[in-house]
Amino acid sequence: MTKNRLTRGRGGSTLWRITYLGEELKMKAGKNMKKALLSLAGIGLVSLFSTTANAAFVISETHTTASGNDTYVIRALNNGTGGTGTKLNGMTINVQTVNSSGQPISTGGVFKFDMAGDISGDGVNDPNIFGGSPTGATRAFGSALGTFGRIGTPANWSGPASGQQPQPYDSDPDGDGIPNSDPSVLYGNLHLLHIEGVTLGPADANVTAQPFFNIVVPSGTFFSVSGSLLGDLGDFTPITTFTNAAVPEPGSIAMIGLGALSLMAARRRTA
């Protein structure tokens, strides 16, 4: 938080500029300042510790830990604000490993993938990036077997091969039965995954948030989720970037607000 004296207002009252977590207000000392500080403290709590949202989609997660890995299910609620409808139809999403400050990294923990299936029948196993056909066996959201992205069931999911990154995720993209590469090399050390596509069977997402990404990483690994989602109305809409990166504890933010109030009270007593 930064605080700068501006000018003296009418009647000799001091005006202050208060900037806290990117929010700026100008106010008179006294009750108005107290009210503003309480408001700003509330802004801090909401922005850091609620689910992330833009005008239309609210992103949330649930996660479990087992065998040294964390499994996250990322969901979206479509509240319809901005003309996006009520369903979750499509996505173009990046998941990226990050550090504790939310900055992208290319070392350390990587995304885990289910490499048990041979997509093209060439004798080389491939990553199951959709959690089902055509990239492998059907996996439910919450599966600890690997990272994947899709909306709805595999049968209804349409993810164009050219739109998924990185390439190749299929060892035999030309379909001649001879492997061109071994995807386990690329997907065994992956820090950035892009999945895009649409579902032919969208579910209502205005009451119950619908899953669109299953992320498996070594325990304690941070990541971000960014990109755009599509409802049943309108165009693809950018989402607010979601991250599980460490942030200050709620108590710390509350203490900042209380400390600021104490500072203002002390200033008033000595004025």
Task: Report pLDDT digits (tens) over 104-128.
Answer: 999 999 999 999 999 889 999 999 9
Residues 121 and 15 in one domain: no
Q: What angle do CA 237, 19, 227 make, to 5 degrees?
A: 15
Write down the mean pLDDT value for the chain.
Answer: 79
pLDDT at 264: 52
pLDDT at 37: 35
Whether the Cβ atoms of residue 208 and residue 73 lie closer than 8 Å to each other: no
The letter for the amino acid at 162 is S
Residue 93 in domain: yes
Residues 162 and 263 in one domain: no
Q: Could you write out the DSSP letters of every residue in 121-184?
A: SSS--B--TTSSTTSSS---TT-TT--EE-SS-GGGEE--GGGSBSS-SSS-TT-SSS----HH
Residues 105 and 213 in one domain: yes
pLDDT at 141: 98
Q: How far apart are CA 53 and CA 171, in angstroms?
A: 38
Other beta carbons within 10 angstroms of residue 147's beta carbon come to 28
Residues 223 and 256 in one domain: no
pLDDT band at 204 (very low <50, low <70, confident <90, very high): very high
pLDDT at 180: 93
Residues 111 and 235 in one domain: yes
Whether the Cβ atoms of residue 128 and residue 136 lie closer than 8 Å to each other: yes
Residue 245 in domain: no
Residue 107 in domain: yes
Name residue, tokens 């379909």. 175
Residues 60 and 187 in one domain: yes
Residue 127 in domain: yes
Q: Which two tokens stand for residue 215?
A: 């992320």
Q: What's the mean pLDDT in 11-21?
A: 38
Residues 86 and 205 in one domain: yes
Residues 97 and 73 in one domain: yes
Residues 265 and 219 in one domain: no
Residue 244 in domain: no
Name residue, tokens 């909401």. 46
Q: Is the pLDDT of residue 152 over 50?
A: yes
CA Rg, the chain, in Å? 24
Phi-psi region of 84 (alpha: psi -120 to 50; beta: other; left: phi over 0): alpha
Residue 209 in domain: yes
Residues 73 and 191 in one domain: yes
Residue 184 in domain: yes
Q: How far apart are CA 15 and CA 82, in angstroms?
A: 37
pLDDT at 135: 86
Q: Which residue has the higher pLDDT, 162 or 265?
A: 162
Q: How far apart are CA 43 and CA 39, in angstroms?
A: 6
Residues 64 and 83 in one domain: yes
Give the count of domains, the chain.
Answer: 2
Where in the sequence is the domain holding 157, given as residue range(s)?
Answer: 55-239
Other beta carbons within 10 angstroms of residue 185's beta carbon come to 8
pLDDT band at 269 (very low <50, low <70, confident <90, very high): low
Residues 152 and 89 in one domain: yes
Whether the Cβ atoms of residue 124 and residue 179 lie closer than 8 Å to each other: yes
